[in-house]
Structure 1
Amino acid sequence: MKPPILIAILATVMTGTMIVMLSSHWLLIWIGFEMNMLAIIPILMKKFNPRAMEASTKYFLTQATASMLLMMGVTINLLYSGQWMISKVSNPAASTMMTIALTMKLGLSPFHFWVPEVTQGISLSSGMILLTWQKIAPMSVLYQISPSINTDLMTLVALASVLIGGWGGLNQTQLRKIMAYSSIAHMGWMAAIITYNPTMMFLNLSLYILMTLSTFMLFMLSASTTTLSLSHTWNKIPLIASTILTLMLSLGGLPPLSGFIPKWMIIQELTKNDMIVVPTLMAITALLNLYFYMRLTYSTALTMFPSANNMKMKWQFEHTKKMTLLPPLIIISTMLLPIMPMMSILD
C-alpha cells in the first residue's frame, strides 16, 4: 500500500473513532462506527492473501451485524423517548440491544468467535491496531450509557469472557491467537467494572492498550508469529527476550508490574459493592491466562534453543527495524505500580 493512501485510510479510522467519542447524538455515533469499520478493512488486507481476505470478510460481517443491532436499539429508544441523545436511554429493551451490539463489536463472549480468527489471518501490525485502537470507540459508548446498562447481563458477559479468554489460549502456539484470547479476557475485566465505576474501566483500557502495543512491537521487532519462532529470540536479541518475559508477566497481572494495577483495583471495587463470588471467580479464571503467558515466557527466555555455532553471535548485528516509542512503552507497561498510591489520591 502506498504511503499517501495508508495515511488517508488511517486518518479516516482515527476520525471515525473521534466522532464516536465526541458525539452525544446517536446518528453521529453510528456514522462514526461505519467510517471506522469501512476504513479498517483495507488495513486488515494490507498484505493481500486469501487468509487476510477471509479475516476481513469475517470482521466486516460481524461489525455490520453489530451496527445493525445498535441502530435497531437506537430506533426503539427513539420511538420510546422521542430523542437522539445518548444520555437518554430509558427503555430496557433498547439498552439491552445496544449493550449486545457493543459487546459484539468488542468481541466479548458469547460473540468472541471472530476475534482469534480475524487476528490470526492478518499481519502483526494490523492485529495491533485491531486489538488496541478498535476497542476505544465501543468502550467510550459503553462508558456513556453505563447508568442504563443491565448489571446482571454485563456481569455474566464479563465472567464468560474471562473464562473463554483463559481457556481458549491454553493450547495455542500462534502468538496472534494468544493475544486475541488475552484481549477477550481483558475486555471481560473491563465489562465487570463498567456499571460500578466507569472511570476505572478507562484506567484498565489505557493500561491494556499500552501493554498490548508494547507486546506487538516486540513481536514485530523479532519477527515472531509462533511460540517456536519466539524461542529463537535469545539467539538474535537477548535483551528483547528478557523484556518479553517481563511484559508477559505484566499482562498476566503479577504484583510488582503495571498489569497488577487494574486487577487489584477492580477486585477492590467489586468487593466494596458487596460482591465476593464474582471477583473470586474472575481471579481464579485469570490463572488460566497466567498459565499461557508463563508458557510464552518459558519458551522465550527460560529455554536455550539448539543452534549451530555460526548462529551464536547473531545478536551482534545491527537491527534494521526501528521502534521509536518502544522504550517508554515498555517502562510504562512494567513499572507503574510504585506511583499507584499517588494516582489513587488524585482519583
Structure 2
Amino acid sequence: MNPYVLMILLSSLGLGTTLTFSSSHWILAWMGLEINTLAIIPLMAQHHHPRAVEATTKYFLIQAAAAAMILFTSTTNAWITGQWDITGMPSPATSTAMMFALALKIGLAPMHFWLPEVLQGLDLLTGLILSTWQKLAPMALIIQTTQTTDPLILTSLGIASSLIGGWSGLNQTQLRKILAYSSIAHMGWMIIVIQYAPQLTLIALGTYIFMTSAAFLTLKVLSATKINTLTTTWPKSPILAAITTLVMLSLGGLPPLTGFMPKWLILQELTKQDLPATATIMALTALLSLFFYLRLCHAMTLTTSPNTINSAPHWRVQSTQTSLPLVTFITITLGLLPVTPAILMLTT
C-alpha cells in the first residue's frame, strides 16, 4: 500500500476515535464510529485475497447494521427527551437498544458470531488493529451509557461473553480464531464490572490491549497462524518461544503475570458488591480460557514437530520489522503486576 494512503487511513482511525472520545452529542459520536469503520475497510482488503475480501464485506455489513441501530436509537431518544446528550437516556427501551448496538460493534456475546470469521480472514497486523484500537470508541460510549442501562443486561452480557469466549475457543486450531474468542472473553470481564467500578474496566481494557498486542506481534515474527506451526517454534527461536509462552499465560490470567491483575481486581469488586455467585461463575469461565492458552504453550514448548506437517518449516526467524513495539508490549505484559497499587491510585 502507498505510504501516503496508509498515513491517511491511520490518521483517519485516530481522528474517528478522538472524535468519539471528545463528543457529548450522539451524532458526533456516530460520525466518529463511521470514520473509524471506513478507515479500516481498505486496510482489511489491501491483500486482495478472497478470504480478506469476504472478511471485509462481513465486517462492513455488521458495522453498518450496528451504526444504523445506534443512529435510530439516538434519534428515538432525542424524540422522547428532546436532547442528544450521550449520558441522557432515561428510557429503558432506548438504553437497552443502544447497549445491544454497541455490543454488536465490539463483538460481545451473543452478538459475537462475526468476530472470529472476520479476524480469521485478516493478516495479523490488521487483526491487531481490529482487536485493540477498534474497541476503544465503542467502549467509551458503553462506559458513558452504562449508568442508564439495566444492570441485569450488563451482567448477562458479561457472563455470556466470558462463557462463550472460553468454551468456543477450546476446539480451535487457528490462532486468529483463538485470539478472537480470547477477545470476546476479555470483553465479558470488562462489561461485568463496568456498572460498579468503571476504572477497573479501563484497567482491564489497557492490560488487554498490551497483552493482545504482544501476542499478535510475536505471532507475526514467528509467521504462525495455526497450532501446528507453533510446534517448530522452539528450534527456530527458543527465547522467543519462552516469551510467547509467558504472554499466552498472561492472557490466561496466571500470576505473577500482568493478566492476573484485572481478573483479581474484578473478582474482588464483585465480592464487595455482594455477588459471590457471579464472581464464582466468572472465575470458572477463566479456567476455560486458560485451558486453550495452555494448549498453545504445550504446542510451543513440550512437543516436537511431527514427521509430516501441513506447512513448510522455516528454521530461522527472519524479520525486518522494528522490535521496539514488540519489546515494549512484552515487557508490560510480563512485568506490570507489581505496580498494581500505583495503577489503582492513578485511576481513583
Give 1:305 shift: 2.3
Asked if 2 retains the 8 angstrom alpha-carbon contact of 1:235 and 1:312, the reply is no
Root-mean-square deviation (CA, aligned residues, Å) is 1.8
Q: Structure 2 vs 1, CA of residues 65 and 313 (structure 1 numbering), >3 Å: closer, same or farther?
A: closer
Matched, 1:140 2:140: yes
Alpha-carbon distance in 1 for matches of 2:319, 2:95: 51
Matched, 1:116 2:116: yes
Give 1:319 shift: 4.3
Alpha-carbon distance in 1 for matches of 2:321, 2:169: 29
Q: Which moved more, 1:122-131 or 1:84-93?
A: 84-93
**Which residue of 2 is the match for residue 173 of structure 1?**
173
**Which residue of 1 is the match for residue 11 of structure 2?**
11
Matched, 1:131 2:131: yes
Alpha-carbon distance in 2 for matches of 1:318, 1:61: 37
Task: After superposition, give the CA deviation of every residue in 1:300-335 in whole Å (9 maximum; x if it has no partner).
Answer: 122232689xx99945x7643333211121111111
**Which residue of 2 is the match for residue 300 of structure 1?**
300
- What TM-score does the superposition give when structure 1 sets the normalisation length? 0.96
Q: Structure 2 vs 1, CA of residues 345 and 29 (structure 1 numbering), >3 Å: closer, same or farther?
A: closer
Alpha-carbon distance in 2 for matches of 1:172, 1:31: 36
Matched, 1:96 2:96: yes
Alpha-carbon distance in 2 for matches of 1:328, 1:259: 16
Give 1:34 shift: 0.9
**Which residue of 2 is the match for residue 191 of structure 1?**
191
**Which residue of 2 is the match for residue 83 of structure 1?**
83
Q: Structure 2 vs 1, CA of residues 319 and 74 (structure 1 numbering), >3 Å: closer, same or farther?
A: closer
Give 1:9 shift: 0.9
Identity of aligned residues (%): 47
Please give the residue correspondences for 1:253-268 in structure 2 after superposition, counting only pairs within 5 Å: 253-268=253-268
Alpha-carbon distance in 2 for matches of 1:151, 1:49: 43
Alpha-carbon distance in 2 for matches of 1:247, 1:272: 30
Asked if 2 retains the 8 angstrom alpha-carbon contact of 1:217 and 1:323, the reply is no
- Residue 72 of structure 2 aligns to which amino acid in structure 1? M
Alpha-carbon distance in 2 for matches of 1:63, 1:219: 27
- Residue 126 of structure 1 aligns to which amino acid in structure 2? T
Alpha-carbon distance in 1 for matches of 2:55, 2:82: 39
Asked if 2 retains the 8 angstrom alpha-carbon contact of 1:247 and 1:333, the reply is yes
**Which residue of 1 is the match for residue 320 of structure 2?**
320
**Which residue of 2 is the match for residue 59 of structure 1?**
59
Asked if 2 retains the 8 angstrom alpha-carbon contact of 1:235 and 1:313, the reply is no
Q: Which moved more, 1:291-300 or 1:65-74?
A: 65-74
Q: Structure 2 vs 1, CA of residues 164 and 319 (structure 1 numbering), >3 Å: closer, same or farther?
A: same
Alpha-carbon distance in 1 for matches of 2:340, 2:302: 30
Alpha-carbon distance in 1 for matches of 2:180, 2:269: 26
Task: After superposition, give the CA deviation of every residue in 1:143-176 in whole Å (9 maximum; x if it has no partner).
Answer: 1112112110010011111111011110111000
Give 1:128 shift: 0.5
**Which residue of 2 is the match for residue 35 of structure 1?**
35
Task: After superposition, give the CA deviation of every residue in 1:90-118 in whole Å (9 maximum; x if it has no partner).
Answer: 11111011100000001001100000000
Please give the residue correspondences for 1:209-220 in structure 2 after superposition, counting only pairs within 5 Å: 209-220=209-220
Q: Moved runs in structure 1, 4+ residues, more than 6 A?
A: none
Residue 145 of structure 1 aligns to a residue in which SS? helix
- For structure 2, which runs of at least 5 residues remain unmatched after alignment? none
Alpha-carbon distance in 2 for matches of 1:313, 1:75: 55
- Residue 224 of structure 2 aligns to which amino acid in structure 1? S
Asked if 1 retains the 8 angstrom alpha-carbon contact of 2:232 and 2:313, the reply is no
**Which residue of 1 is the match for residue 239 of structure 2?**
239
Task: After superposition, give the CA deviation of every residue in 1:22-49 in whole Å (9 maximum; x if it has no partner).
Answer: 1111110011111111111111112111
Alpha-carbon distance in 2 for matches of 1:212, 1:319: 20
Alpha-carbon distance in 1 for matches of 2:120, 2:131: 12
- Residue 50 of structure 1 aligns to which amino acid in structure 2? P
Alpha-carbon distance in 2 for matches of 1:243, 1:32: 37
- For structure 1, which runs of at least 5 residues remain unmatched after alignment? none
Alpha-carbon distance in 2 for matches of 1:306, 1:177: 23
Alpha-carbon distance in 1 for matches of 2:108, 2:90: 24
**Which residue of 2 is the match for residue 288 of structure 1?**
288
Asked if 2 retains the 8 angstrom alpha-carbon contact of 1:170 and 1:288, the reply is yes
Q: Structure 2 vs 1, CA of residues 293 and 208 (structure 1 numbering), >3 Å: closer, same or farther?
A: same
Give 1:85 shift: 1.2
Asked if 2 retains the 8 angstrom alpha-carbon contact of 1:59 and 1:118, the reply is yes
Residue 183 of structure 2 aligns to a residue in which SS? helix
Alpha-carbon distance in 1 for matches of 2:223, 2:299: 15
- What TM-score does the superposition give when structure 2 sets the normalisation length? 0.95
Query: How many residues get paired?
Result: 344
**Which residue of 2 is the match for residue 343 of structure 1?**
343
Give 1:345 shift: 4.1
